[in-house]
Amino acid sequence: MSAWTEEVLSWRDDRLGLTELPTVNRRKNRTAPYRLHRPHLSTAHVPEPVPEAHGTHISRLYPEILALIFERLPVRDRGRAAQVCRSWRDAADRRSVWRGVEAALHLRRPAAVLFASLARRGVRKLQVLSLRRGLRDAVSALPGLDSLSLSGCYSVTDAALASAFATELPALRRLDLSLCKQVTDSSLGRIAQSLKNLEELELGGCCNVTDTGLLLIAWGLRKLRRLNLRSCWHVNDDGIAHLCGGGEARGTPELEHLGLQDCQRLTDEALKHAATGLPNLKSINLSFCVAVTDAGLRHLAKLPQLEDVNLRACDGVSDAGVAHLAESGRLRALDVSFCDKVGDEALSHATLGLSGLRSLSLSACRLTDEGLERVARLSQLETLNIGQCTRVTDRGLRALGDGLLNLKAIDLYGCTCITPQGLDHIVKLPRLSVLNLGLWHVR
């Protein structure tokens, strides 16, 4: 290489070095809104972005899983969950979420949207808390309605029920009209015509129901299993005869539970009809039926499946009546509280024929320690009420503590002759969970 060439190259290197220096300086001073790509620099100090979590949020659960969660919520919270978002609404509207739920509503005006929502969720039980209007709309919007309660709706009239039950409702199994004081026999005729599959009918406190209404029930409600006529004061022996298939009535042969509490016109004749016409009867409540006597209980004892008898405050029942019931040997519950003619002798019959008793109520009876010693032989007894038996002492409690090892609840309210030493024998019972020593005092 010549000397001239070397000089030119040296001059070029010097010139290039001088021209690149300002460019480098400009890049160092320049700021950019984004990160420049510099592969020749080390990137070890640059933090990696945190990956977004997938599949951990509750909104990503399958609708079936959400429905299982909602099933365990209180009823009010299930409705609130349906308002969160569309996916929750779809899950909360599944019929499985609302299975067995009873909707409690105040029907003050028509609410088509609400009724449509209940139908979509498959709600089949409806309790009306107060009624002004809209009963017909509610019943027609829920074709699968299984249970309807109008208890305490004093404004319910025959016209309202006739409008609501204008067409047949084959799915309805239970109807509660207790304390609907304006309901008369006219409504029972409509019910017998439109609700032929009805199994439970509550008429407690419907004081305008008469024997004619029971005749209509006996003609139309052949599948009836439970009937409550508490405080239907106009019902007498003829009405019970209709239910039992007497005269022109077809009867209710499937009836298992009959409530006649405070029907004070009933006599032993009604029990005679029941013994022949209600072969499936398991439970009967005759409390405050003051005209029922021991003779009627003789008929009642013939029922082959009778298990529960309530004779509370039946003044005509005595030790002999308990003896008649003991002949059946099938009773599981007996209440003769406030029957002031029942005493220790009745318990001697009970220990012989009622060894399978689970519940026995003897409050305010003529009971002494001798009677409690007989009660102690009922080894399967779980509930015992002997409140206001003022002649019971620690001796009787000692006998109970030794014999009733399966006892779960005992009422000793008003037993003024017992002491803490006697209570020690009761407290040691292995299965005892309820001990009542006062009117409102439960330990």
**In this model, does residue 244 exceed pLDDT 90?**
yes
Are 62 and 91 in contact by the 8 Å Cβ rule? The answer is no
pLDDT, average across residues 247-274: 92
Query: Which ranges of 82-210 would DSSP assign to H, the alpha helix?
Result: 86-92, 112-120, 135-141, 158-164, 185-194
C-alpha distance from residue 332 to each of 17, 46, 272, 294 (Å): 114, 82, 22, 19
Strands 200-202 and 383-385: unpaired
Quick check: helix, strand or coil at residue 15?
Answer: helix
pLDDT number for residue 78: 85
Are 120 and 149 in contact by the 8 Å Cβ rule? The answer is no
pLDDT, average across residues 1-15: 59
pLDDT number for residue 49: 59
C-alpha distance from residue 424 to each of 205, 297, 382, 400, 401 (Å): 43, 38, 18, 11, 9
- Size of the chain in residues: 443
pLDDT number for residue 113: 84
Least confident of 35-44, 210-219, 272-281: 35-44
Question: Does the CA dihedral 269-275-280-283 come out positive or negative?
Answer: positive
Q: How confident is the model at residue 181 (pLDDT cuts 50, 70, 90)?
A: very high
Rounded CA Rg of the chain = 39
Tens digit of each residue's pLDDT (9 = 90 or more) over 334-375:
999 999 999 999 998 888 888 899 999 999 999 999 999 999
Q: How confident is the model at residue 381 (pLDDT cuts 50, 70, 90)?
A: very high
pLDDT number for residue 441: 41
Strand runs labelled E in 24-176: 102-107, 125-131, 147-149, 174-176
- Give the bridge partners for 436, in sequence order: 411, 442
pLDDT number for residue 93: 84
Distant-in-sequence, close-in-space partners of 258: CB < 8 Å, separation ≥ 6: 227, 229, 243, 274, 278, 281, 283, 284, 285
Strands 434-436 and 409-411: parallel
How many Å apart are CA 66 and CA 82, to the nearest integer? 11
pLDDT, average across residues 20-29: 48
How many Å apart are CA 359 and CA 381, to the nearest integer? 6
How many Å apart are CA 423 and CA 410, to the nearest integer? 11
Could you tell me which of 272, 335, 274, 281 has the C-alpha nearest to residue 304? 281
Q: How confident is the model at residue 19 (pLDDT cuts 50, 70, 90)?
A: very low
**In this model, does residue 289 exceed pLDDT 70?**
yes
Q: How confident is the model at residue 66 (pLDDT cuts 50, 70, 90)?
A: confident
Q: Work out the mean pLDDT of the chain and round it to a whole number.
A: 87
Quick check: helix, strand or coil at residue 110?
Answer: coil
Least confident of 16-25, 57-66, 181-190: 16-25
Alpha carbon 319 to chain centroid, angstroms: 36
**In this model, does residue 15 exceed pLDDT 90?**
no
Q: How confident is the model at residue 102 (pLDDT cuts 50, 70, 90)?
A: confident
Query: Which ranges of 185-289 would DSSP assign to H, the alpha helix?
Result: 185-194, 211-220, 237-243, 268-277
Least confident of 94-98, 218-222, 419-423: 94-98
**What tokens does 204 get?**
């407690």
Are 430 and 404 in contact by the 8 Å Cβ rule? The answer is no
Could you tell me which of 381, 393, 391, 387 has the C-alpha nearest to residue 423? 393
Give percent above pLDDT 90 in the chain: 62
